[in-house]
Each structure stands twice: as structure tokens, then as C-alpha cells.
Structure 1
Amino acid sequence: MKVTVWDTYVKKQNGDTMHFDIIAPEYIREEAIIHQMGKEYLATKQHAGLLLTAKECRLCHQEIASAEMLESLHTKGYFIIEMEGCD
């Protein structure tokens, strides 16, 4: 299955930056849906309400989903790859 990778940077309240990728099914290209996925993830990290817009979250590329990605896509609808500052 092909997925899209949305490169995302979010400024935390303490000024540090969170960098993570939102992995979504290839057929979902609507930014509002992708942003909602990111907001759901941020809420799990106690960072609900942080700014997440097209400036912070951009379509980067497509790739083939791994087994781990597929499992999350089937249960949550998205997968997150934590890059930095995602504590």
C-alpha cells in the first residue's frame, strides 16, 4: 500500500520544536484531515492546542507502507514517525 508522508514541525510551549512525520493513506490529500491526525497525536503527548497548519505540516513524499504502518493505519487511520523533541 502506498502512503503519503507529511513532514511536520510544531513549536512547543517551552519554545522547543517537535519534528514528526504523519503517515496517511495515499488517497487522503485533504490538509484538514491530515492536520486533524496531527492534532490527535499531539493530544496523546499532552500538547493539545499547539498550532498545526500547512506551514508546519507539508506533504513530503510517497512510500510503501511497512507492516507497522499498516497496522496503525487500520486501527487509527494514520501512523506517526517521531523524529525529534516528541516527548
Structure 2
Amino acid sequence: MKVSVWDTYVNRSDGKIMHFDILVPSNFNNEDKIFDFGKNYLKTKEFITKELTAKECNFCHIDVAPDIVVQEITEKGYSIIEIENCN
């Protein structure tokens, strides 16, 4: 499955910057919904973050997803890859 990778940076209340990717099917282009996926992910964190908007989340590239990502997208519509300061 080809996926769109949305590169996302969100400021945390402790001054750190979270970096994570939101992956969705490559034919999915509803930006508001993609931002909602990111906001839902942020709600799972114990720390406080600033708002997620188009300024923090941008389309980066299209890639081929590994099976585990395909499974997660099939189950909930998106997948998150944590890169930096996500825990």
C-alpha cells in the first residue's frame, strides 16, 4: 500500500518539540481529518501540547508502507510513527 506521510512537529508545554509522522492511504487527501488523526494521537499523551494546525503538519512524501502500518491503517484509518520527544 502506498501511503502519504505527513511530517508533524508540535510544541510541548515543557519546551520540547514532538516530531511524528501521520500516515494515511495515498489517495486520502482530507487535511482536516488528517489533523484530527494527529489531535487524537496527542490526546493519548500524558503531557500538554500546543495546537496542531496546518503550520505544524505538512505533506512530506509518498512511500510504501510495511505490513504493520497497513494493518493499523486498515483498522483505524491512519498510523503514527513516533520520531522524537513523543514519550
TM-score bracket, normalised by the shorter chain, equals over 0.9
Runs of 4+ in 1 over 4 A off after TM superposition: none
1:39–1:48 Cα contact (<8 Å) kept: no
1:16 is aligned to 16
Aligned-partner Cα distance in 2 for 1:35–1:50: 13
> Please, what is the CA RMSD of the aligned residues?
1.4
Amino acid at match of 1:50: K
CA offset digits 1:42-79 (Å, max 9, x no partner): 11113566311111000000011110101110111111
**What is the DSSP-based 3-state SS (H/G/I as helix, E as strand, rest coil) of the residue aligned with 2:46?**
coil
Which 5+ residue runs of structure 2 have no aligned equivalent? Answer: none
1:37 is aligned to 37
Aligned-partner Cα distance in 2 for 1:50–1:71: 29
Aligned-residue offset at 1:26: 1.1
Identity %: 47
CA offset digits 1:3-27 (Å, max 9, x no partner): 1000000001111100000001112
Equivalent residues in 2 for 1:8-87 (5 A)?
8-47=8-47, 50-87=50-87
2:5–2:61 Cα contact (<8 Å) kept: yes
Could you state the TM-score of these two structures normalised by the residue count of structure 1?
Answer: 0.92
Which 5+ residue runs of structure 1 have no aligned equivalent? Answer: none
Amino acid at match of 1:69: V
Could you state the TM-score of these two structures normalised by the residue count of structure 2?
Answer: 0.92
**What is the DSSP-based 3-state SS (H/G/I as helix, E as strand, rest coil) of the residue aligned with 2:82?**
strand
Amino acid at match of 2:63: E
Equivalent pairs, count: 87
2:4–2:62 Cα contact (<8 Å) kept: yes
